[in-house]
Structure 1
Amino acid sequence: MESNDTFDPYLISPAHSWNVLDFLEIIIGVAGLIGNVIVCVVMTVVKDLRTQTNCYVVNLAVSDSLSSLFLVLEPFLKKYVQVGEFYCRFIQSAFIFWVCMIESIFSLVAVTLERFVAIVYPFLYQRWFTPTTIAWSIVTTWILSVLSELKLLLIWQSDGIYCIYGWTDLKYSAGPISVMFSLNYVFPAVFMVYAYAKMIDSLKKDARQIQTSSTNQADAELLTARRRVITLLLIVVGAFFVCHTPNHFLYFAWHVGFRIEVPRKVYTTLVILTFLNSCVNPIIYAFRIKKFRKGCRRILCPFIPPDGVSVAHTV
């Protein structure tokens, strides 16, 4: 993940001098690591936040924590680890970072599916989403993420001086990359757009039904709480795709024949945008979840007395 003159380096040697991107990478990584660790702690400690939906939120925070840790370590590793097979396949390829990025996509798909069933098909929710099935779904997303990015360990090689990127021939790269782009980006994006459109439509129908019937206050509060959760998840999903769409499309375009010459500044901006997604979610939670703010204050400032009351639980 270096900022070269163009996006098509075949040979990459380790960088021995520090540059602005290295420092930005470390700063973003530290911020992301601190923020996501706080998310994990708060979501685990605060009783009102221990919901089934937040299991996926914690998993997303774990993924972002690992990618942030890689961002902190990568500049040092690239300067002090000797070039070899391990260096090229694990460090230069940013294998861990990209596994975590794909895991973030699959985790967003999983939490979208969980909310989709809860809102659109509530009669199936208790049967489909038990603690066991949620745990297995999280394990499955990690397994799929690792399998998806194993290609990086195969296509990066070392000649002892340089790291060599192996997929330079479209005959070998276009097909696999098209399949992976569809599975890792296009299909998840299409599903999430469809799911959130259906959820919003279902919530609108529920709202009209509440307005025209003598529904009790608890149902109205539940509807409000569900709307807040959906709004939060839409913001998280939107932030992810804003940060990652340019890089995904550039990577896909390059491997199917469009050898785009990307200026250094543009590519550096896209890299930084990708990095930023690792630290943006805690900021979103802080602005959108009152209980999360209270939990942060309780943990970080334990001597300040809590105030306010809790809001309705969501299914």
Structure 2
Amino acid sequence: MAEQATQAFQAIVGIVGICGNGLVCVVIAKNRFMHTLTNAFIFNQALIDLIGSLMTLLLNLVPIPDPIPPGAAWVFLCSVWISDYLQWAPFTASTFNLITLTLERYLAIVFPFRYQALATRKKAIAVLVGVWVAGFLFSSFGIYLRFYEAGEPGESLMRARRNTFKTLLIVCAAFIICWTPNQIFFFLSNLGLKVDFSSPIFYITIGMVALNSCLNPFIYAIKYKQFQKGLKVVFGKRGDRASIATASTGHN
């Protein structure tokens, strides 16, 4: 019963995550004033979470074949599909992207001059791609173990940067809240303690991890002022040029 309830919850979360993160991607892509380095990481975060939400939905809707076919199909199903690799790999990549996003803001605020030299397009692309690679490789390692072991800114600019910082702080807090209970289970298991991975509480922690994939769009919509302006542009409520110009300076 608990497993069925969790599956239903994850399916709903998957749908909301696809819609919410898809909207974030569209808003950032369609508004040139949002084409900044910070928003590139936010776009990457939304894209990763969109894929994670899609996999969460598919893994709950697509039944596992019974009996499982032999040969290469068996290897694929066990190591990629049944293991939930396609779900946990984006979740892991999302974690790495959130770390890089936090570091990017740290460098921009604490070392602004060094940040200008480091924040190049090529380096940003390399980091964004590296986040995906690291997430999928890290999750692959988990499958391997399971398989074989069973300048002085103006006031408006400061306000924009403070808003970005507060938004990302909330994103980090949501991440910690959603992921910590699940990781406590695995931490206790790694310590050798007996952990019931079939308990209702564990299924709830899985649901919380999935929930994290669809929370960020709501956080952006409620807290991130530049994203709010982008939403208005996408949905036809175009503000004056001065407002958009002000928004575009918040992440340089």
TM-score (norm 2): 0.87
Sort the Cα spacing of 1:297 and 1:226 in 2 relative to 1 into closer, same or farther, 3 A: closer
Q: Which of 14, 26, 41 in structure 1 is aligned with 2:26?
A: 41
8 Å contact 1:78–1:91 — kept in the other structure? no
State the SS of the aligned residue for 2:196: coil
How far did 1:265 drift? 2.4
**Structure 2 partner of 1:233:** 168
**Structure 2 partner of 1:265:** 200
How far did 1:72 drift? 1.0
State the SS of the aligned residue for 1:78: coil
How far did 1:56 drift? 0.4
Per mean C-alpha deviation after superposition, the further-off stretch among 97-106 and 288-297 is 288-297
For the residues of structure 2 that align with 1:273 and 1:295, how far apart are their CA atoms?
A: 28
What aligned pairs does 1:127-166 form with structure 2 within 5 A after superposition? Answer: 127-157=117-147
Mapped pair 1:122 → 2:112: yes
How far did 1:125 drift? 1.2
**Amino acid in the other structure paired with 1:122:** P
**Structure 2 partner of 1:192:** none
For the residues of structure 2 that align with 1:259 and 1:52, how far apart are their CA atoms?
A: 45
8 Å contact 2:196–2:202 — kept in the other structure? no
Deviations 1:83-116 (A, max 9, x none): 3322221122111221111111111111111111
8 Å contact 1:103–1:142 — kept in the other structure? yes
8 Å contact 2:233–2:239 — kept in the other structure? no
What aligned pairs does 1:208-223 form with structure 2 within 5 A after superposition? Answer: 219-223=154-158
RMSD: 2.3
Mapped pair 1:306 → 2:241: no
How far did 1:3 drift? 5.7
Unaligned segments of structure 1, at least 5 residues: 5-18, 158-165, 169-205, 207-214
TM-score (norm 1): 0.70
**Structure 1 partner of 2:178:** 243
- Structure with more of its chain in helix, by fraction: 2
8 Å contact 2:6–2:204 — kept in the other structure? no
For the residues of structure 1 that align with 2:109 and 2:157, how far apart are their CA atoms?
A: 11
How far did 1:154 drift? 2.4
8 Å contact 1:285–1:292 — kept in the other structure? yes
What aligned pairs does 1:268-279 form with structure 2 within 5 A after superposition? Answer: 268-279=203-214
State the SS of the aligned residue for 1:126: helix
For the residues of structure 2 that align with 1:284 and 1:116, how far apart are their CA atoms?
A: 20
